Amino acid sequence: MLLAEAIRRKDELQGEIDWLKKLPIREDTEQVPEDVWSEASNRYVRQTKEIKYVSAMSEKDRVLKIRAMDDRYEILNTAVDVANGRTLVKWSEPVPPA
């Protein structure tokens, strides 16, 4: 793998890890009061409405995914650091036009 590709993959992996860490996961039930029109009493009455929140990913799955990505990130980061330490850059002063 080229060094540039490894750096790009490492940066993309870091972005995915950050996104997963910030992803809100909510799995609970909430009771919300709601005003509903009652035909029997001819007025609004307050009822509680139950809202259930379910995330596509559980907290446990997110933690496992982040750990796996962290492991891959560390491997790539080490490889990039080693390659950067061995990369030779040849540079010389530009010659001004005559």
For each of the chain's 98 residues, which pLDDT tens digit applies? 888 898 999 999 999 999 999 999 888 899 999 999 988 889 999 999 999 998 889 999 999 999 999 999 999 999 998 888 777 777 788 888 87
- With CA atoms as reference, report the closest residue to 36 among 48, 22, 19, 50: 48
E-only strand ranges, 1-98 = 28-38, 43-53
31 lies in which domain range?
A: 3-85
pTM (2 decimals)?
0.64
Q: Whole-angstrom Cα distance, residue 30 to residue 43? A: 25
Residue 39 resides in a domain: yes
Residue 93 resides in a domain: no
Mutual angle of helices 59-86 and 3-22, in 10-degree steps: 150
Structural domain count of the chain? 1
Residue 62 resides in a domain: yes
Beta-strand pair 28-38/43-53? antiparallel
Residue 53 resides in a domain: yes
